[in-house]
Chain A
């Protein structure tokens, strides 16, 4: 299995609070991604990174920001969590933009 960890694995937070999710990889892959998965929607891309300090928006980026200061870490921040951001968040990595992606175990976030 690819060396990808996510923290925390579960979190319950209140509306309006900031939340940061962390993705850590030991594979030295250039590309990292954040997805959310919701019933009826499948996996949707939030943001991705193609190198240190290089990030771009995905399909559902509103309300989220990301940072990548090191190759191995990709952070997803919800500046002010809303109930609509209750979801399962997956991080993924890939060697190249066109290549297969490998996923972390996911973070289950509940915003009350």
Chain B
């Protein structure tokens, strides 16, 4: 199993749609989980951290399932500006000195 695995997409959705991205990770000792957003030819930017109880930030909801080693990101009411690549990120081990980045899922929102 790859350390962090994501469906590369692309996901093509109309404005206003709800879209969900999934991510699996291999190391059961991982403690930190994040979603990053990366626009074309730009640096990755932190979208949100993912907490055990799940968390929401506006139109974005992140969920963590430790038993299944699975992370999800839900985007509601998609906007054109949500078009980007979304990276699932997990810390490598208990020491936590390295983050492992998934290869990303590409989202394209059209009008």
Chain A neighbourhood of B34, CB < 8 A: 100
Max count, chain A CB within 10 A of own CB: residue among B34, B43, B49, B87: B43
Closest chain B residue, CB of each to CB of A102: B46
Judge if A101 is at the interface, Cβ distance under 8 Å. Answer: yes
Interface size (A, Cβ < 8 Å)? 23
Taking CB as reference atom, which chain B residue is nearest A96? B96
B4, chain A: closest CB distance, angstroms: 9
Interface residues of B, Cβ cutoff 8 Å to A: 31-32, 34, 42-46, 49, 87, 91, 95-99, 101-104
A selection of 14 A-B contacts at a CB cut-off of 8 Å is: A31-B97, A35-B101, A40-B103, A41-B103, A42-B87, A42-B103, A42-B104, A48-B97, A50-B97, A58-B98, A90-B43, A99-B32, A103-B43, A104-B43
